[in-house]
C-alpha cells in the first residue's frame, strides 16, 4: 500500500465520508488500491503521492476539465486575476464580460447570475422559479446536487431518486415539511411527465431537466415540456452542469432547438476552477430581486476569468467536435473489443460522456477487476470515459490496447470462475452508502 492509500485511511477517520465529492471516493473505483490523491495533474496525466504516473481515461475531474488538467491558456488568464487581486470590496468587471458572452451564445437569455458550484446554482435557479411563480412544487428528472429541494424527493419514497444517476441517497436532515415539493419523472417518459402535470395543476413552480445525459431526447419529449410549461406559466429549467459545452459551445438545449426560461452551467464552463452561471429570461430572472440570493465568494475574480478563457478556447478550437470524435472512438473500441472476447456489455451515453456496463450478475466484480487491471497498466479507468481536448490519438490508442488485454483477461477469468480470487481487494460500491 502506498502513501496515497495510507492517507485515505487517515482521511476517513477525520473527514466523515472520506472526500468532499461522493464520486471521488476510492470505494467507487477500487477499494484500498485506488491512488486516492494526486500531487500533480497536467493534460490527461496524473501523478499520485508515490510519484506514480497515470493517464486519466476516467472522469477528468468528474467532468470539470474539458480542456485537460491545468490548461496553459486558462492558467495564464487566472494568473492575471491572482496577480491583480482575486478579491476586493469592489466587483470584478469580468462578471459583466462573461454575462455578455453567455447571452451572446444563448440569444434567448437576457440576464445572468453567478455561483461557484453546480448544486448551489441549481438551488438558486429553483429559488428564482419559486419566487417568480409563487408556487412550490418542482417536477424534475436527472441529478441536480445535494440540496434540500432535491433530496426532499426521497422523503416520500427513499428510492425515488434511484433512477436519476446516484442510487441510495439518504435524505436524513432534510425537513419533513418539504415532503411532496419535488417530484421525479423518468427522462423521455412524456406520459409520466404529463400525468404529474395534471395531478399537480396550479401548484408547480418549475420543471427541471438535464437536457441530455445517457440517451438522446425522444422526438417530442423536450418540446412537450416546453409547450406545456409555456401554456401553464411554469418555469422550464435546463440543467447543463454536465451536458453543457460538450456537444456544442454552450448548452445542449441549443442543439435541440429548445429555449428554456433558465439554464444552469457549472463544472465544464471554467475548466476546473470553481464557477457556475444561471442564465435566463429577464422576467423570470428579475425575481432574484424579490428574494435573498447572495454570497461573498460568488464574487471572486478567478471564476469568471477562467470561464471567459475556457469558453474562448473551446470556441476557437471547436472542442465539442473533438470530444465527440474521441468519445465515439472509445465507445466503438469498447464494443469491438467486448465482441472479440465474447463479453456481454452495453455501451451508452453521449459520445463525449460514454460508459459501458457488464451484463452479468457479478457486474460490479467485473467492473472492479477492469479498474484493477487498467491501473496496473498505468490508466485511471472505470466503466466510463469523459473525453477532453487533452486526450490525444496516441493516448486513445494506448488505452484501447490496454482495454484489449484487460478484457481478454476478464473473459478468461469468467471462464475459469476466478473473478473474485483475481481481485486483489474488495469489490467497488454501486451507490451511496455510509463508510465504516
Ligand atoms: C446535471 C448535474 N447537476 C448538478 C450537479 C451538481 O454539481 P456540483 O457537484 O458542482 O455541485 C451535477 C454534478 O455532477 C450534475 O451532473
Q: Which of 28, 211, 266, 272 to mutate to test the pocket of ligand 1 (most atoms within 8 A of CB)?
A: 266
**Does residue 210's CB lie within 6 angstroms of at least one atom of ligand 1?**
yes
| 402 alpha carbon – ligand 1 mean position (Å) | 30
Task: Give the integer Cα–Cα distance in Å for 290 and 298.
Answer: 19
15-32: average pLDDT:
95
Per-residue pLDDT of 242-299, as tens digits, reads: 999 999 999 999 999 999 999 999 999 999 999 999 999 999 999 999 999 999 999 9
> Cell triple for residue 68?
485537460
Task: Indicate the Cα dihedral angle 197, 199, 203, 207, nearest 10°.
Answer: -30
| 224 alpha carbon – ligand 1 mean position (Å) | 25
Q: Which of 122, 145, 165, 386 to mutate to test the pocket of ligand 1 (most atoms within 8 A of CB)?
A: 145
Residue 25 pLDDT > 70, yes or no? yes
| 263 alpha carbon – ligand 1 mean position (Å) | 13
| 145 alpha carbon – ligand 1 mean position (Å) | 5
- Average pLDDT score over the chain: 96
Picking from 141, 320, 293, 123, the residue whose alpha carbon sits closest to that of residue 214 is 141
The single residue listed with the C-alpha cell 410549461 is 229
189-203: average pLDDT:
98
Q: Relative to the CA of 240, which ligand 1 atom is closest?
A: 1
| 166 alpha carbon – ligand 1 mean position (Å) | 11
> Cell triple for residue 428?
467497488
| Ligand 1 atom 3: residue of nearest CA | 144
Task: Give the integer Cα–Cα distance in Å for 287 and 162.
Answer: 32
| 122 alpha carbon – ligand 1 mean position (Å) | 8
Q: Relative to the CA of 117, which ligand 1 atom is closest?
A: 10
| 210 alpha carbon – ligand 1 mean position (Å) | 10
Rg (C-alpha) for the chain, rounded Å, is 22
**Does residue 379's CB lie within 6 angstroms of at least one atom of ligand 1?**
no
Grade residue 435 by pLDDT with cuts at 50, 70 and 90.
confident
Q: Which of 64, 120, 143, 184 to mutate to test the pocket of ligand 1 (most atoms within 8 A of CB)?
A: 143
| 165 alpha carbon – ligand 1 mean position (Å) | 10
**pLDDT for the residue numbered 434:** 74
Residue 436 pLDDT > 80, yes or no? no
21-31: average pLDDT:
95
Grade residue 384 by pLDDT with cuts at 50, 70 and 90.
very high
Identify whether the C-beta of residue 349 lies closer than 8 Å to the C-beta of residue 214. Answer: yes
| 168 alpha carbon – ligand 1 mean position (Å) | 17
| Ligand 1 atom 16: residue of nearest CA | 242
Grade residue 154 by pLDDT with cuts at 50, 70 and 90.
confident
**pLDDT for the residue numbered 165:** 60
Q: Which of 24, 117, 144 to mutate to test the pocket of ligand 1 (most atoms within 8 A of CB)?
A: 144
Grade residue 215 by pLDDT with cuts at 50, 70 and 90.
confident
**DSSP structure class, residue 241:** T
Grade residue 79 by pLDDT with cuts at 50, 70 and 90.
very high
Picking from 324, 276, 240, 273, the residue whose alpha carbon sits closest to that of residue 69 is 273
Which domains are present in the chain?
3-70+318-422 (3.90.1150.10), 72-316 (3.40.640.10)
Identify whether the C-beta of residue 287 lies closer than 8 Å to the C-beta of residue 205. Answer: no
| DSSP 3-state of 113 | strand
Grade residue 162 by pLDDT with cuts at 50, 70 and 90.
low
72 alpha-carbon distance from chain centroid: 23
Identify whether the C-beta of residue 5 lies closer than 8 Å to the C-beta of residue 29. Answer: no
| Ligand 1 atom 10: residue of nearest CA | 118
| pTM, entire model | 0.96
| Ligand 1 atom 7: residue of nearest CA | 118
> Cell triple for residue 298?
460568488
How many Cβ atoms sit within 10 Å of the Cβ of residue 76? 10
Grade residue 155 by pLDDT with cuts at 50, 70 and 90.
confident
Percentage above 90 pLDDT, the chain: 93
Q: Relative to the CA of 145, which ligand 1 atom is closest?
A: 6
Amino acid at each position: 500500500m502506498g502513501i496515497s492509500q495510507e492517507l485515505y485511511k487517515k482521511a476517513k477517520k477525520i473527514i466523515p465520508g472520506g472526500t468532499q465529492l461522493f464520486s471521488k471516493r476510492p470505494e467507487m473505483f477500487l477499494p484500498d488500491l485506488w491512488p486516492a490523491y494526486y500531487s500533480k495533474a497536467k493534460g490527461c496525466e496524473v501523478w499520485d503521492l508515490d510519484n506514480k504516473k497515470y493517464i486519466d481515461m476516467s472522469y477528468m475531474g468528474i467532468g470539470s476539465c474539458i480542456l485537460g488538467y491545468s490548461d496553459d491558456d486558462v492558467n495564464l488568464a487566472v494568473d492575471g486575476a491572482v496577480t491583480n487581486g482575486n478579491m476586493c470590496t469592489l466587483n470584478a468587471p469580468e462578471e459583466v464580460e462573461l454575462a455578455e458572452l453567455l447571452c451572446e451564445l444563448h440569444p434567448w437569455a437576457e440576464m445572468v447570475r453567478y455561483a461557484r458550484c453546480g448544486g448551489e446554482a441549481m438551488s438558486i435557479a429553483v429559488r428564482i422559479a419559486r419566487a417568480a411563480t409563487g408556487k412550490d412544487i418542482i417536477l424534475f428528472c436527472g441529478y441536480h446536487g445535494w440540496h434540500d429541494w432535491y433530496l426532499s424527493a426521497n422523503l416520500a419514497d427513499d428510492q425515488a431518486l434511484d433512477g436519476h444517476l446516484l442510487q441510495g441517497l439518504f435524505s436524513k436532515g432534510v425537513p419533513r415539511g418539504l415532503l411532496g415539493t419535488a417530484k421525479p419523472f423518468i427522462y423521455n417518459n412524456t406520459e409520466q411527465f404529463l400525468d404529474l402535470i395534471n395531478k399537480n395543476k396550479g401548484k408547480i413552480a418549475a420543471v427541471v431537466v438535464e437536457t441530455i445525459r445517457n440517451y438522446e431526447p425522444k422526438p417530442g419529449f423536450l418540446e412537450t415540456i416546453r409547450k406545456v410549461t409555456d401554456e401553464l406559466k411554469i418555469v422550464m429549467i435546463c440543467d447543463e452542469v454536465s451536458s453543457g459545452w460538450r456537444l456544442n459551445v454552450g448548452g445542449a438545449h441549443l442543439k435541440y432547438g429548445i429555449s428554456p426560461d433558465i439554464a444552469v452551467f457549472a463544472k465544464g464552463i471554467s475548466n476546473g476552477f470553481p464557477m457556475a452561471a444561471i442564465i435566463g429570461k429577464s422576467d423570470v430572472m428579475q425575481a432574484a430581486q424579490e428574494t435573498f440570493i447572495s454570497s461573498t465568494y460568488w464574487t471572486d475574480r478567478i471564476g469568471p476569468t477562467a470561464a471567459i478563457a475556457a469558453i474562448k478556447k473551446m470556441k476557437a478550437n471547436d472542442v465539442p467536435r473533438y470530444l465527440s470524435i474521441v468519445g465515439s472512438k472509445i465507445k466503438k473500441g469498447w464494443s469491438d473489443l467486448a465482441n472479440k472476447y465474447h463479453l456481454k456489455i452495453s455501451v451508452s451515453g453521449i459520445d463525449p460522456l460514454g460508459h459501458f456496463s457488464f451484463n452479468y450478475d457479478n457486474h460490479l466484480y467485473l467492473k472492479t477487476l477492469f479498474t484493477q487491471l487498467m491501473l496496473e497498466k498505468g490508466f485511471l479507468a472505470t466503466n466510463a470515459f469523459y473525453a477532453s481536448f487533452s486526450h490525444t490519438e496516441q493516448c486513445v490508442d494506448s488505452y484501447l490496447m490496454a482495454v484489449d488485454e484487460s478484457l481478454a483477461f476478464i473473459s478468461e477469468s469468467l471462464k475459469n470462475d476466478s473473478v473474485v480470487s483475481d481481485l486483489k481487494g474488495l469489490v467497488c460500491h454501486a451507490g451511496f452508502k455510509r463508510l465504516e
